Chain A
Amino acid sequence: MPLWDWNYAFEILPDLLWALVTTIEITLLGSVVALLLGLVFAVLRRLHIPVLDQVLWAFIEVVRSTPLLVQVFFLFFVLPQFGVTLSAFVVGVVGLGVHYATYTSEVYRAGIDAIPKGQWEACTALSLPRLRIWTGVILPQAVPRVLPALGNYVISMFKEVPLLLAIGVVEVVNEARELGSLTFRYTEPYTIAGLLFLLLSYPASMLVRRLERRRVHA
């Protein structure tokens, strides 16, 4: 038996590509959660609301310091006991999204902290309402600066989707495993799976790097 069988490789490619679509779907939906929730976390923490501030801090620390896999298991096994049963796909989106929201909140925070004090003072001088200060002055300056960092996190999320095979989500690696178990040939499925990740995430990270460089020079 040859080490690498091209016919077999081409035969399984369509199935793997279909599974890749699921991976991308989870990545994109998870990104929406992470990017929005992270912004909410960052703004809420900046408002220094007593009690909520400490609770949020503790929540972010716990989520940041514990494995995503354990958090996914938590959502998958604990929530149903409280009457909330989510499909594996939704658990994946929520788990990935909340986990990365704790990272993106730090990124937004750095962006907000970098806004010169004069901008805040000018807002006060113009007596802008709270909401206008955030939506009209601070965030439009803070968010574009941190786009490359946020982009990096989206790429990281993409690479973490295979974890979800532990709860039965059929993404690329799980599909590769199932294909392999039919024929007992694992070389082609796992190698192709790896190449698919590289093929998407390498150009994406190049793009982010270019964005980063443009910002530095701008």
Chain B
Amino acid sequence: MENLPQIVGVLSDGLPETVIATLGGVLLTIILSIVAGLLLLSSSRTVRGVTRVYVEGFRGTSEVVQLFWIYFVLPVLVGFQLLPLFAGIVVLGLNHGAYGAEIVRGAVRSVPRAQYEGAIALSLSPAQRMRRVILPQAVVEMLPPFNNLFIQLLKSSAILALITVPEVTRQAREVLIPNFGADTLLIFGVTFVIYLVLAALITLVMRLLERMASARLGRRPSRAARAAARAAGPTGTEGVAV
């Protein structure tokens, strides 16, 4: 126990990297999810096809392979090396963006057809229709599954330890284990607490956003949507068919 202050100190040295990787990954995920999600709904077969290749390619392979590929193989092919943290953010974003695209697609499609027809009847342009009618309603549907996805992303950020990013997990494995070999329980106990707190923060922010997005539509956040998202988990974006 007497080593606790040092252990906490070393682990918190890794905190900025974990937070930056997660926030960067989340930002990239949001952008890619919306873009790819809307492209999946495009009327052009080619656009849909190309987007499908991205989505299935990243959903179908292991995140560790993607990380190693971008960090070790890409430099050989294009001639420049990405910084480890940057490569990590790119992979976290690309991978979770592929899952997020399905969330966005599903949420947009879940908006009742009458809403489209109403928007057309009011002669809103396609862009106005999307921005002012469809997306505000779709966003409410998206937030609970995105909460799961972002927590998944936070957890995935631990694999950056494998490409030398000095984030929390790497600090525990490479700095603390060799030096405080007798305190392994304490080391990983504190590590678990750090991730739990970060995950709780993500949920807190997402709940707040859920409430805001629902209030905008004059609704209250739905417990059912949250429960469904929890059962569907990080991968089953279609929801559990019950």
Contacts and interface: CB of A to CB of B under 8 A. Distances in A.
Given A145-B241, A212-B241, A67 B156 contact: yes
B162 A68 contact: no
A93 B236 CA distance: 22
A74 B159 CA distance: 15
Contact of B77 (A153, A176, A187, A201): A187
A215 interface: yes
Contact of B63 (A62, A145, A149, A159): A159
A83 B162 CA distance: 28
Contacts of A111: 240, 242
Contact of B192 (A3, A66, A198): A66
Contacts of A62: 192, 196
B72 A110 contact: no
A173 B62 contact: yes
B30 interface: no
B173 interface: yes
A66 B191 CA distance: 9
A191 interface: yes
A58 B13 CA distance: 27
A202 interface: yes
Interface string B151-166: 1001111110110000
B151 A186 contact: no
A161 B159 CA distance: 12
Interface stretch (A7-15, A101-109, A120-128): A101-109
Q: Is the interface of A mostly helix, strand, loop or mixed?
A: helix
Nearest to A197: B61
Interface in A179-193: 180, 186-187, 190-191, 193
A155 interface: yes
B217 interface: no
Interface in B190-242: 191-192, 195-196, 199-200, 227-228, 230-236, 238, 240-242
Interface stretch (A28-36, A49-57, A131-139, A162-170): A162-170
B76 interface: yes
B33 to A, nearest CB: 18
B86 interface: no
Contacts of B232: 149
A200 to B, nearest CB: 9
A148 interface: yes
Contacts of B158: 67-70
Contacts, number: 158
Given A145-B242, A186-B73, A165 B162 contact: yes
Given A67-B158, A70-B158, A173-B68, A187 B196 contact: no
A73 B199 contact: no
A187 B184 CA distance: 37
B60 A70 contact: no
B64 interface: yes
A106 B230 CA distance: 7
B66 interface: yes
Contacts of A205: 59-60
Contact of B240 (A107, A156, A159, A163): A107
A20 B190 CA distance: 34
Interface of B: 56-57, 59-66, 68-69, 72-73, 76-77, 151, 154-159, 161-162, 169, 172-173, 177, 182, 184-185, 188, 191-192, 195-196, 199-200, 227-228, 230-236, 238, 240-242
Interface of A: 3, 61-62, 65-70, 73-74, 77-78, 81, 103, 106-107, 109-111, 113-114, 145-146, 148-149, 152-153, 155-156, 159-163, 165-166, 173, 176-177, 180, 186-187, 190-191, 193-194, 197-198, 201-202, 205, 209, 212, 215-216
Given A113-B242, A159-B61, A194-B61, 5 more contacts: A68-B158, A103-B234, A149-B233, A160-B62, A190-B69
Top 3 A-B residue pairs of the complex, sorted by shortest distance between their CB atoms: A67-B158, A110-B231, A162-B64
15 contacts: A67-B159, A67-B169, A70-B158, A109-B231, A148-B240, A148-B241, A149-B232, A156-B234, A156-B235, A161-B62, A186-B72, A190-B68, A193-B65, A201-B61, A216-B241
